[in-house]
């Protein structure tokens, strides 16, 4: 059977090349719609702007929730920022979109998208960023109040910036700096969650290429407001009995997951995953000889949490390839991608 890892990485690179911070996602969802259509599916854009597609009708008779329709969720909205004001000196003050930490974004190149569709470039820097001038450089806390975007334009006043068409509310997109190393590491901003979205695309292609019809009806929902907390709150088919977020697995101190594994989340910041789903995922991983870890994430919330908070009555869990340095310059590995893909195949049949 074909190895879909390279195909998944190709799709991830394409997704990562399309700017899509929360609130500015039409370009990436246009790409998703076309990609699903090329595979022979019939995706639809939700009212909120995400993409919903049924990838399997299913062949089994539903007798319990474990055999009922399942919704696989991923998201393509990323961290980013918005212009909050223009200074008298012609620099831009920002407000974050999602959890873009200013410590991680310092000195990053960025793009400013105006309401008229023009794009300007700049760099996100500490105010008074020259170490040879600023004696408090090392001691200054990095906050959005103390940082700014220097535009790559010859401007030095608020009026000159406004004359470019830049205004409060414009979207600021940070450079993802995507690299795949010869040793198999995947380094980029926004692997959360474009890497796992690419895995979902790979799974959809696998079903078509191999002419496989799982016993369960399977939907995929690619949301566009996950990073701000309400991506998975709506557009969930009424017959869904289970939701599986395919997002990132966390790698860090106190956790077992590595960048080469798939993580199964037993509990996140909102509470435990459904016990039976976690158990079934572990069983499926062992059956397929998948390298996995089970972990508890103290500071993590996902689209399935948002759906449950909105009142959806469904079993739930979260899986994903191990990702280090979450919400920073993130890193995963091809093995983590393959293990996540193989777990999906084993679990869904």
Q: Of 119, 148, 174, at which residue does a domain stop?
A: 174
Q: Domain with 280 in it: what CATH number?
A: 3.40.630.10
- Provide the b/e sequence for 130-158 (b: ≥16 CB within 10 Å): eeeeeeeeeeeeeebeebbbbbebebeeb
- Which pLDDT score is estimated for 64? 76
Per-residue pLDDT at 7 exceeds 80: yes
User: Which pTM value belongs to this model?
Assistant: 0.96
SS3 65: helix
- Which pLDDT score is estimated for 66? 81
User: Could you tell me how many residues make up the chain?
Assistant: 349
Residues 6 or more apart in contact with residue 145 via CB below 8 angstroms? none
Catalytic entry in 226, 242, 259, 330: 226
Pairing of strands 249-251, 315-324: parallel
Shared domain check, 306 and 221: yes
Residue 33 near residue 40 (C-beta atoms within 8 A) = no
- 89 to 71, 111, 130, 164, 197: CA distances (angstroms): 50, 19, 16, 15, 41
Mean pLDDT of the chain: 96
- Which pLDDT score is estimated for 300? 92
Each residue of 85-134: pLDDT tens digit? 999 999 999 999 999 999 999 999 999 999 999 999 999 999 999 999 99
Each residue of 245-294: pLDDT tens digit? 999 999 999 999 999 999 999 999 999 999 999 999 999 999 999 999 99
Residue 184: closest CA among 331, 73, 83: 331
Q: Domain with 143 in it: what CATH number?
A: 2.40.30.40
Rounded mean pLDDT of 159-176?
Answer: 98
Per-residue pLDDT at 310 exceeds 70: yes
Q: What are 82's two structure tokens? A: 């918005």
Q: Quick check: is 226 catalytic?
A: yes
Shared domain check, 343 and 284: yes
Per-residue pLDDT at 222 exceeds 90: yes
- Which pLDDT score is estimated for 58? 86
């Amino acid at each position: 059977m074909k190895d879909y890892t390279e195909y998944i990485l190709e799709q991830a690179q394409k997704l990562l090349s399309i700017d899509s911070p929360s609130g500015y996602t039409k370009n990436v969802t246009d790409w998703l719609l076309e990609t699903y259509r090329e595979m022979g599916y019939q995706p639809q854009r939700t009212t909120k702007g995400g993409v919903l597609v049924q990838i399997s009708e299913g062949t089994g008779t539903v007798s319990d929730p474990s055999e009922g329709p399942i919704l696989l969720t991923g998201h393509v909205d990323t961290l980013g920022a918005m212009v909050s004001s223009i200074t008298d000196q012609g620099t831009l003050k920002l407000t974050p979109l999602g959890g873009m930490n200013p410590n991680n974004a310092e000195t990053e190149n960025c793009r400013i998208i105006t309401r008229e569709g023009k794009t300007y470039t700049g760099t996100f820097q500490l105010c008074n960023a020259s170490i040879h001038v600023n004696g408090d450089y090392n001691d200054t806390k990095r906050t959005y109040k103390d940082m700014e975007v220097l535009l790559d334009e010859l401007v030095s006043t608020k009026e000159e910036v406004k004359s470019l068409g830049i205004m409060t509310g414009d979207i600021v997109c940070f450079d993802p700096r995507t690299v795949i190393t010869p040793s198999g590491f995947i380094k980029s901003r926004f692997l959360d969650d474009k890497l796992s979205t690419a895995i979902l695309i790979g799974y959809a292609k696998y079903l078509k290429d191999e002419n496989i019809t799982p016993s369960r009806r399977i939907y995929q929902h690619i949301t566009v407001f996950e990073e701000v907390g309400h991506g998975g709150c709506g557009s969930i088919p009424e017959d869904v009995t289970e939701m599986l977020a395919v997002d990132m697995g966390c790698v860090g101190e106190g956790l077992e997951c590595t960048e080469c594994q798939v993580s199964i989340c037993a509990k996140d910041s909102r509470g435990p995953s459904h016990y039976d789903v976690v158990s079934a995922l572990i069983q499926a991983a062992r059956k397929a000889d998948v390298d996995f870890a089970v972990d508890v994430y103290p500071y993590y919330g996902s689209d399935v949490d948002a759906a449950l908070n909105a009142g959806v009555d469904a079993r739930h869990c979260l899986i994903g390839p191990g990702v280090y340095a979450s919400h920073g310059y993130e890193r995963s590995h091809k093995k983590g991608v393959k293990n996540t893909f193989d777990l999906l195949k084993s679990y869904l049949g």
